[in-house]
Amino acid sequence: MSGFSFQELEDFRGERKTALLVNNEGKVAICYDQKPEFDISWVEFDSKAKKISLVSEEGQYQNLGVSISDDMKLNLLKAQEILLAYVKNKEIISCALHPFVVSAN
Span 29-40, pLDDT tens digits: 998 888 888 899
Q: Distance between CA 95 and CA 74 in Å, rounded?
A: 25
pTM, rounded to two decimals: 0.82
Q: Distance between CA 26 and CA 72 in Å, rounded?
A: 9
pLDDT tens digits along 12-54: 556 778 888 899 898 999 988 888 888 999 999 999 999 999 9
Per-residue pLDDT averaged across 47-65, rounded? Answer: 90
Backbone angles phi, psi at 75, to 5 degrees: -75, -35
Query: Which residue in 76, 104, 82, 79 sits closest to 95, CA to CA?
Result: 82
- pLDDT at position 10 over 60: no
pLDDT tens digits along 80-92: 999 999 988 889 9
Cα→Cα distances 5→30, 43, 57, 101, 104, Å: 26, 17, 10, 19, 21
